[in-house]
C-alpha cells in the first residue's frame, strides 16, 4: 500500500457536496476510498458523485437530513450492508451570525439540531458498524471551539460541543480500535464565503474579502483542499497513533492573534 492509501475503505462524508466536504470527498476517492456522500440535497450530492466517478473514483449519493435520527440510522445501516464502515467524517454544519442578544431561541435550536444532534446522530449510528473491526471518526470543529469569536454565540456553542464530543468518544471507544479526532479550521475560502460577502456587502466584495483574509495571521484564507489533506492524514493508517486530539488549521489564528 502506498502512503495515505484508503484502498478498500468505506468512507461516509456528511455535507460532502460543497466546500470542505466536497474537497474531502474528492481527496478520499482519489486515494481509493469508496465514498458515500450524505446531503440533504441529493441532487447536489449526485453532482459531486458524478465528478468523482468521472475521475475514475467510487462514490454514491445519499439523501439524508443529519438532524433526523431515524433517517440517519436507516441511511447508515443501508450503506454498511453488514460489512461495516471504516471512516465517518462529520462535516455537515450551518452557521449563524450574532451575539447572544441577536440569537433567538429558534436560532439556537436550529443550530443545535444540525451541528450538535447531527454529529451525535451520525456517530451513534456508525459506531455499531465500526466495533467489529475498528474505524476512524473525524469531526469538523472550528477555531470557535477554542477561542472567542465576535458575533458567533450560537455557532461557537455548537462547535464547542463538537470538540468535547470528540474527546468523549475517543476515550470511550479506544479499546474497540476506534479513533476519533477533530479538525478546527479558521476561515476557509468556499462558495459560502463568496455568497455571504456578495449578499451582505454588495459593491465591496474585494475590500471585504481582503479584510476577512487578513484576520488570519498568515494573511489569507485557507483552501478546502488544505483541510482535505489534513483529513486524509488523520483518516489514514499513517495516523494510527493519533486519537482524542483537535487539529487547528488556521493560519496561526489561535496562537498568534492577540
Catalytic sites, residue numbers: 155
Residue given cell 475514475 in the structure block = 56
Residue whose C-alpha is closest to residue 11's, from 124, 91, 114: 91
List all residues 6 or more positions away from 36 whose beta carbon is below 8 Å from its beta carbon: 10, 11, 12, 13, 59, 60, 62, 79
Strand 246-249 relative to strand 34-39, pairing: unpaired
Label the pairing between strands 87-90 and 178-185. unpaired
Residue 182 makes CB contacts below 8 A (sequence gap 6+) with 138, 139, 140, 141, 145, 162, 163, 166, 245, 246, 247
Amino acid at each position: 500500500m502506498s502512503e495515505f492509501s484508503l484502498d478498500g475503505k468505506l468512507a461516509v462524508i456528511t455535507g460532502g457536496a460543497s466546500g470542505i466536504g466536497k474537497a474531502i470527498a474528492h481527496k478520499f476517492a482519489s486515494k481509493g476510498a469508496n465514498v458515500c456522500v450524505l446531503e440533504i440535497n441529493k441532487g447536489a450530492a449526485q453532482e459531486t458523485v458524478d465528478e468523482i466517478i468521472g475521475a475514475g473514483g467510487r462514490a454514491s449519493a445519499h439523501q439524508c437530513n443529519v438532524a433526523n435520527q431515524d433517517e440517519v440510522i436507516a441511511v447508515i445501516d443501508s450503506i454498511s450492508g453488514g460489512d461495516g464502515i471504516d471512516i465517518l467524517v462529520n462535516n455537515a454544519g450551518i452557521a449563524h451570525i450574532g451575539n447572544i442578544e441577536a440569537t433567538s431561541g429558534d436560532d439556537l435550536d436550529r443550530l443545535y439540531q444540525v451541528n450538535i444532534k447531527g454529529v451525535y446522530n451520525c456517530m451513534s449510528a456508525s459506531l455499531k458498524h465500526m466495533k467489529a473491526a475498528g474505524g476512524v471518526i473525524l469531526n469538523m470543529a472550528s477555531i470557535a471551539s477554542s477561542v472567542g469569536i465576535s458575533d458567533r454565540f450560537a455557532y461557537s456553542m455548537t462547535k464547542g460541543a463538537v470538540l468535547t464530543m470528540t474527546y468523549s468518544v475517543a476515550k470511550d471507544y479506544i479499546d474497540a480500535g476506534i479513533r476519533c479526532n477533530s479538525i478546527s479550521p479558521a476561515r476557509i475560502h468556499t462558495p459560502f464565503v463568496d455568497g455571504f460577502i456578495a449578499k451582505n456587502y454588495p459593491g465591496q466584495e474585494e475590500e471585504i474579502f481582503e479584510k476577512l483574509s487578513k484576520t488570519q495571521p498568515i494573511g489569507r484564507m485557507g483552501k478546502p483542499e488544505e483541510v482535505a489533506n489534513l483529513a486524509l492524514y488523520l483518516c489514514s493508517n499513517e495516523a494510527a497513533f493519533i486519537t482524542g486530539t483537535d487539529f487547528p488549521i488556521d493560519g496561526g489564528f489561535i496562537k498568534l492573534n492577540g
